[in-house]
Amino acid sequence: MSALTQKVQILLTDEQHQALLGLAKARGRPLSVLVRETVVEQLVAEARRVAKQRAFEEMTAMDLPVADWPEIEEQIERTHIYSKCGSAF
């Protein structure tokens, strides 16, 4: 783990503080560890969201040949029928 060198001060309501203390106690961890773990979870969640958005943008930017709907539907039906009866058409 990296050295903890940065200090952050936050203000909470009494209710928020009590809820966090209760959660920390229930998990058997100090409140500071609980807060740091939550920060990491949020950073990971944001990184995943950004990666998914980037992947979506890259896929939608691709110029791929796509058949019209009737042809796609026919291919789906053919594949479905083939998989049920095991014979080629």
Q: pLDDT tens digits for 18-32?
A: 999 999 999 999 999
* C-alpha 42: how far from chain center: 11
Residue type, 11: L
Spell out the domain ranges in the chain: 14-85
Provide the pLDDT for residue 86: 64
**C-alpha to C-alpha distance for 4 and 7, rounded to whole angstroms:** 8
What letter does residue 2 receive in the DSSP assignment? -
Distance CA 20, CA 30 (A): 10
* Range in 20-24, 38-42, 52-56, 81-85 the model is least confident about: 81-85
Q: Which residue has the tokens 């026919």?
A: 74
